[in-house]
Structure 1
Amino acid sequence: MDAKPQTLVVTGALGGAGRWVVDRLTEESYDIVAVDRELPVGTPPEEVDFRAVDLVDAGETMDLIAEVDPDAVVHLAAIPDPLNHAGERVYRNNVLSTYNVLNAAGRIGADVTWTSSESAYGFPFAESARAPDALPIEETHPLRPADPYGLSKVSGEETAKAVVRRDGISVASIRPSWVQYPGEYFVTDIRESFDLDALTANPSAAVGGGPGNYWSYVDVRDLADQIARTLEVPLDGHEAFHCHATENYLGEETTELFAALLGECPEPCALSGDASAFSTAKSAERLDWTPSHSWRTESAVPGPDFDAP
């Protein structure tokens, strides 16, 4: 982003994270056109213009972007994991919608922030636990997905790079962790049932063990804040950024968790205490962003009160 945008298109605006992101961005006095498959119920912000668009349809997507002519696009729309939908549907929906949004944004010269995923590395939905090349994991770590969701995110990042080359826009690919919501942190039940000895004895069967994202998470409010920061700071070309809490959600020594899961802690390793397996140093340096919410202080707070039908 060369200058702070005035008009935004936000896709996936009625999703779990989308509602929080739209709500957060209204604090910045943007003109927001919010997009989802359906129009909202409840009480959406009065200053937000909602549109119902099928982003898998290239014509609908281009028509919307060309009409609104935004300065920037925040693309959140996606099937968020490969667990409850056929793999082909996950891949097709995510790849086509992301291509259509990036292509349309590039054609009109609008910068883009979009949600890729830590799943692009291939860890969360792997059939068996995989060791990272180094700890903490940085954005330069190779992307090795083996599931349709992670693969769709890698395809999206490659599309972003192509559009940047063609049109000269900037694209921020946010790689969030498992998003948690105030008052319903799903990681709480895992932490309360966790047993380090059980993980050591049977990594694939123990609660909190097996393939996964190495016990990482992020509060949706921190995700929304990071997205807001990408709209405010100068960015060039394509850049990927981690969006993770600074600690694991179990409150255990992270190196001990890796040793229990994999038999040994991967090397090189520069982790201490319960530090997250994923580095957020680049986000801190380039975006001046650090997470401010933790499972240790998590509490229920009122969230956006609009939703899909």
Structure 2
Amino acid sequence: MIKRVICTGGAGKLGMHLACRIVNACDLKIVDLQRPSDPVLADVAFTNTNICDFEALRTQFAGHDAVVHLAAIPNPRTAPADVTFNTNVQGAWSVLQAAEDAGVKRVVVASSDSVFGLSYNPPDWPPQYLPVDEAHPLRPTEFYSLSKRITETIAESFAARGKIEVMVIRPVHVVFPPEYLELKARGADLQNYHFWAYVAPEDVAQAFHLALSAPYEGYEVFTVSAANGLNEVPTLELAAERWGTLPEVRKPEIYQSNPFASVIDISKARARLGYVPEITWRDMLL
């Protein structure tokens, strides 16, 4: 485990899950606009800094080994389009440039499965193949997804310069407690805009934790999801009904062994990170 870690957005809903997971494993500092509310993090170093304030970030990052960049506007519904786009894109550049200038060796960046251009597009826009993996074409068409696609491009460009290692984690829709009672209905909704994919925040935190110490160099991207979808109808059957025809199935063995497997392929995260999703939507209803 890397010793000195910065977590931007560590006071957010996902950020606190990660911070609580790693707080006893490293020397942690949280960079956010408010202190984390979880009492487990009461004694963690904190700085009130905007992720677009490059000079302040560079000062805060000095002497740290790694940065986990979670801070962002998390969806297209939270803020106006210009605010979302500018915050996410400028914030990503500021964090990566500050990390490079401060001598940080590894940055783990939060992206989103929305970069595939599937989450917020019309329901008649199917994936090119199933399950959707990291190599699937990216075709975002709205401001939030585009901001995340550009974030990935920024991350890749910094890694190509050779001074820092950058890993991008693409979570699917992260489900928090206020949504639990909606899960069964979402699983039955043929037009579900996340294609029945979801993940628990604890499992996303696991992926980021693993990314801090995983052996790699340069630039890597990993998509993370629960193993199953929200659907109670076999995934391929539901996909064929939704789109009128079944997209190409490149890994039929996944659905042969688990008919309810997610539309998202997590094979790479399993193999390279040791990622094992532990929480299902049924667990959330208990």
Instruction: Give the structure-2-normalised TM-score.
Output: 0.92
1:253 to 1:14, Cα distance in 2 relative to 1, 3 A: same
Can you list the C-alpha shifts for 1:187-243, whole angstroms capped at 9, x where unaligned?
A: 542424765xxxxxxxxxxxx233622110001111111111111221111111011
Bigger proportion of residues as helix: 2
- The answer as to whether partners of 1:180 and 1:218 remain within 8 angstroms in 2 is yes
Aligned residue in 1 for 2:221: 240
- The answer as to whether partners of 1:191 and 1:249 remain within 8 angstroms in 2 is yes
1:282 to 1:51, Cα distance in 2 relative to 1, 3 A: same
- The answer as to whether partners of 2:119 and 2:193 remain within 8 angstroms in 1 is yes
Letter in 2 for 1:60: A
Aligned residue in 2 for 1:140: 135
1:109-258 matches, cutoff 5 A: 109-181=104-176, 184=177, 186=179, 188-192=181-185, 195=188, 208-210=189-191, 212-258=193-239
Can you list the C-alpha shifts for 1:116-141, whole angstroms capped at 9, x where unaligned?
A: 01001011111443111111111011
**By how many angstroms is 1:32 displaced?**
0.5
Can you list the C-alpha shifts for 1:127-180, whole angstroms capped at 9, x where unaligned?
A: 443111111111011111011111111111111111112243211100001112
1:72 to 1:193, Cα distance in 2 relative to 1, 3 A: closer
Q: Which has the larger displacement, 142-151 or 268-277?
A: 268-277
**By how many angstroms is 1:258 displaced?**
1.1
Aligned residue in 2 for 1:296: 282
1:112 to 1:92, Cα distance in 2 relative to 1, 3 A: same
Aligned residue in 2 for 1:201: none
Q: Which has the larger displacement, 38-47 or 81-90?
A: 38-47
Letter in 2 for 1:180: V
1:20-35 matches, cutoff 5 A: 20-28=17-25, 30-35=26-31
- The answer as to whether partners of 1:71 and 1:111 remain within 8 angstroms in 2 is yes
- The answer as to whether partners of 2:105 and 2:163 remain within 8 angstroms in 1 is no
**By how many angstroms is 1:39 displaced?**
2.8
Stretches of 4+ aligned residues off by more than 3 angstroms: 192-195
For structure 1, which runs of at least 5 residues remain unmatched after alignment? 196-207, 301-309
1:18 to 1:42, Cα distance in 2 relative to 1, 3 A: closer
Letter in 2 for 1:253: P
- The answer as to whether partners of 2:181 and 2:285 remain within 8 angstroms in 1 is no
Higher relative contact order (CA 8 A, sep 6+): 1
Aligned-partner Cα distance in 2 for 1:40–1:231? 21
**By how many angstroms is 1:185 displaced?**
6.2
- The answer as to whether partners of 2:187 and 2:232 remain within 8 angstroms in 1 is no
Specify which of 253, 256, 264 is matched with residue 278 of structure 1.
264
1:45 to 1:140, Cα distance in 2 relative to 1, 3 A: same
**By how many angstroms is 1:19 displaced?**
0.8
1:298 to 1:187, Cα distance in 2 relative to 1, 3 A: closer
SS of the aligned residue for 2:284 comes to: coil
- The answer as to whether partners of 2:116 and 2:138 remain within 8 angstroms in 1 is yes
SS of the aligned residue for 1:144 comes to: coil
Specify which of 99, 105, 108 is matched with residue 105 of structure 1.
99
Aligned-partner Cα distance in 1 for 2:225–2:8? 22
- The answer as to whether partners of 1:102 and 1:163 remain within 8 angstroms in 2 is yes
Instruction: Give the structure-1-normalised TM-score.
Output: 0.85
Letter in 2 for 1:8: V
